[in-house]
Amino acid sequence: MGSGIAGLTFALKAARYAKVLIITKKEQAESNTNYAQGGIASVISSDDSYKLHIKDTLETGAGLSHLDAVEQIVKNGPHLINELIKLGVNFSRSNGKLELGMEGGHSRNRIVHAKDLTGKEVERALLFNVSKNKNIAILEHHTAIDLITEHNLIRKKKNNYTSCYGAYVFDELNEKIITVISKLCVICTGGVGQVYLHTTNPAIATGDGIAIGYRAGCKIGNMEFVQFHPTSLYENKPEDQNSQAFLISEALRGAGAILKTRSGEDFMHKYDARGSLAPRDIAARAIDNEMKKSGDEYVYLDAAQLKEKDIKNEFPNIYKKCLSKGINMLKDMIPVVPSAHYMCGGIVSDLNGKTSLNRLYVLGEASMTGVHGANRLASNSLLEALVFADKAAKQCRAELASSKYVKTENIPEWDSSGTENTEEWVLISQNRNEIKQVMSNYVGIVRSNLRLNRALRRIKLIKSEIETFYKKTRISRELLELRNMAQVSYLIIHSALLRRESRGLHYSTDYPKLNKKYLKDTIITNFTVK
């Protein structure tokens, strides 16, 4: 489920020993991967080391990163970068060698990139290889509704679900629901950015995988840690319900661009000795604070001191986008605002991507592997997806050889009885906008008990309304997304209320300091949270 870097990498490797079916909500290339500008962090240069990359990751993770998971991604990075090159990914080079960028939180230049469109280039190469593989089939415009577990099986009603046997999937183009039975399932559905008004995520990032995993009984971890990218392009336009902010890559700050107030003051050194190269959580809170102090709707990113050839060569997409908005970044400062960017939490997995349900794996942004802890180090996300996809593909091969599977005749088709078409689609758009407003106003960069409890009451009411509507209404993709958005919003709020301290991406005005009592992951399931 999903067609980003995690899903496509896994599919290519699993197709060596099995038939693979990819289901994806939109076109193949529509994913968070496709919009990743920065690159993939990896130890390549002679002045770098695994030890330094691990240290940078652990420091950014604010005490919650799992050492074994961090060591796994760091040490497997270089050879998996080489695999991508063999698959045809054209990374930027200088004098024949890989060009390595710098980003906030890193102590060395270690970002392998393809100019400022790395995700798009990786996605292109992976899709090309997938298209040639006869063992892989792709169903576009298909959305998973729910996983098939024991409670779906005829004559096997259980309270606690232990295994996954497939998924019920909505075929949007033909408006029908199909039952997909599979020996193993892998969730690679990406993030949750669309629950916020300002997000760098595409319209499809509605938290589907996390929501269906939660409903099936998976352990969910660290949902309070939502990373806001400090610098998305500010555009003075009404927000539509599927808006996507244009990302101004962190690599631009790595190259020397400076964050400034609208009056031209370099303000970041008031918050961190690293200035504009501070990690994202610090930079986002600093920008948020400056905006609240001044009443301004944005701050500036000044790249005018960079050389023209460097900007046009390394950041051509950003340069072109800014020009289309009347901003010449060679001489004009870029108006920027923080936007929801990455979910550090998700469905809990082990080092092979396995979830707490048998036969179910999770990869990429929908997962909580332990790598990111309370805050993700820039460009570690594509690296994590690559490494865990590789590990999961190897584990799945072993599992296929040893497992027994349920008889498929015990699995019923989807029951749509009692549902009908409706003309009340305004209810969906209204609820969607309400969720985005509540989450942005009360569960953003800076939080408080007052805001969180108010958000909890609002989201619980909206969630209840949606469930009532869902049970009597014919399935649509918009309704499925709305249901999942309400679910993941509730999980974010509930997790935030459980963490009574400020750590990493979770900052509470009621608990502004670290508390050793909370030096642990926030783990919940649908059997413990109501």
Q: So which residues are the catalytic ones?
A: 280
What's the order of all strands across the beta sheet hosting 40-41?
40-41, 111-112, 100-101
The neighbouring-strand residues paired with 506 are: 503
Handedness of CA 266, 267, 271, 277 (dihedral sign): negative
Q: For residues 142 and 124, what is the distance between their CA atoms, to the nearest angstrom?
A: 21
Q: For residues 101 and 39, what is the distance between their CA atoms, to the nearest angstrom?
A: 8
Q: For residues 472 and 521, what is the distance between their CA atoms, to the nearest angstrom?
A: 37
Tokens standing for 166? 């497939």
Handedness of CA 322, 323, 329, 331 (dihedral sign): negative
User: Distance of alpha carbon 54 from its chain centroid, rounded?
Assistant: 21
* Residue showing tokens 């631009």: 252
Contact of 237 with 244, CB cutoff 8 Å? no
HEC profile of 265-310 = CECHHHCCCCHHHCCHHHHHHHHHHHHHHHCCCCEEEECCCCCHHH
DSSP SS3 for 199? strand
- Report CA-CA distances (Å) from 205 to 30, 143, 342, 394, 506: 10, 12, 10, 28, 21
Contact of 354 with 361, CB cutoff 8 Å? yes
